[in-house]
Chain A
């Protein structure tokens, strides 16, 4: 009995499977995003209070959701690396970190643009905004730590330790709007408090963004695997040339 993760542990099999899956995921993501953007910008009504600016929500909420989901994914991958020594776990964590940082940045940016008309300011030191900013710093720290260590396998494990330490902050970020009564509205998610005419586009955008992330993540993982293969091939080539040279074989 092999679980899916065990079967995927073979990078070659992962490459085959991901090559087959990637076009479908990308196509579905693109279709959902096109449909979702149409709904969000043309077919859904403007809010009775917020007017047209409510449409920022359809970009902002999926980005904010991905910012936290990607960190959880990195933490799970890190756990998989440190505990089960899964060979693809580090590839997954490494590929996800820049994507997570990018979506967190987009969530901050769109939130700031939304904040100006709603709250009259681009930035307030409100619990949710501050905690998402910290999440962004966590991503930056992860990327910086990894890039500063040359040895790939120790970089992987150290980044994993940091990711697992940082994950203790994730609940604070998640529940900051519920615990502290501040400017940012409580998380509505996809509950019934959102009108169906806005819930559907939001749901489709969230799905589209999530699939788009997974497409990019798979692609980045494939690139990372190929980069590592290339590196080991180069190392082999150098070793082979050295051997030829020491044996005194002329070409």
Chain B
């Protein structure tokens, strides 16, 4: 278990020292969100109505952009081969790298989402739930995304393929992330959708590393 945390810390340190990676995803997130009022017109009522969906979709796209970072560099320079022959099971290696991706991309994006909500005139009462959905939902984004990253690590045109493979898997996360925000006004409140979103994330955390490891084993043959 110790080597698991060592690996997580290593990936965090690499992401911080590289610097650019987190910044690129955040910058992309900000730009996509600020393009929306330009494309749809500055009608504040319209913007506040579509704000949750826009924030979630921009978040998914920004995360998608950073997914290939999870395995690609380590695959290219052979680190992944070393990790695969080490004592830590490949499933846990994949889990550690997905966790590091969540901490370096998912959490910053989730923290920025409410700030960008201001740009879209999001209703004040929606902020706590928006924060909750992004924090609960982004683990699914990282752990499902890792599967796609592992599947396409060797492929030609990897980036486009990654989007095609991963985005359908994100649909449940997206749907329940948004229904939770939409359900604030309903009598049941947001908690049923938040619970389902949590279930989606838990499934992703369990399933993701197993599938990623299976894909990596094929790639490393």
Q: Which residues of A contact B (CB under 8 A)?
A: 82, 130, 134, 137-138, 140-141, 144-145, 148-149, 154, 157-158, 161-162, 164-166, 168-169, 172
The A contact surface, by secondary structure, is: helix
Contact check: which of B164, B172, B218 meets A161 at CB < 8 Å? B218
Instruction: Let me know if B221 is at the binding interface, CB within 8 A.
Output: yes
* A–B pairs, 5, beta carbons within 8 Å: A148-B161, A154-B221, A157-B214, A166-B169, A169-B172
Give, as a whole number of angstroms, the nearest-CB distance from A119 to chain B: 21
Q: Are B155 and A145 in contact (CB under 8 A)?
A: yes
Asked whether A134 and B168 contact (CB < 8 A) given A158-B151, A165-B207, the answer is yes
- Contact residues of B between 163 and 215, Cβ < 8 Å to A: 164-165, 167-169, 171-172, 203, 207, 211, 214-215
Q: Which B residues lie within 8 Å of A141 (CB)?
A: 164-165, 168
Q: Which 5 A-B pairs give the minimum distances between C-beta atoms?
A: A148-B155, A137-B168, A157-B218, A141-B165, A141-B164
Q: Are B211 and A134 in contact (CB under 8 A)?
A: no
- Contact residues of B between 81 and 129, Cβ < 8 Å to A: none
Q: Which B residues lie within 8 Å of A165 (CB)?
A: 144, 147, 169, 207, 211
Instruction: Count contacts on B: residues with CB < 8 A to the other chain.
Output: 24
Give, as a whole number of angstroms, the nearest-CB distance from B193 to chain A: 12
Q: Are A164 and B211 in contact (CB under 8 A)?
A: yes
Q: Are B211 and A149 in contact (CB under 8 A)?
A: no
Q: Which A residues lie within 8 Å of B2 (CB)?
A: none
Q: Are A162 and B203 in contact (CB under 8 A)?
A: no
Contact bitstring B131-149, A, C-beta under 8 A = 1, else 0: 0000000000000100100
A144, A148, A172 pick with most chain B CB within 10 angstroms: A148
Q: Are B203 and A168 in contact (CB under 8 A)?
A: yes
Q: Are A154 and B219 in contact (CB under 8 A)?
A: yes
Asked whether A145 and B152 contact (CB < 8 A) given A82-B214, A165-B211, the answer is yes
Q: Which B residues lie within 8 Å of A144 (CB)?
A: 161, 164-165
Q: Are A161 and B214 in contact (CB under 8 A)?
A: yes
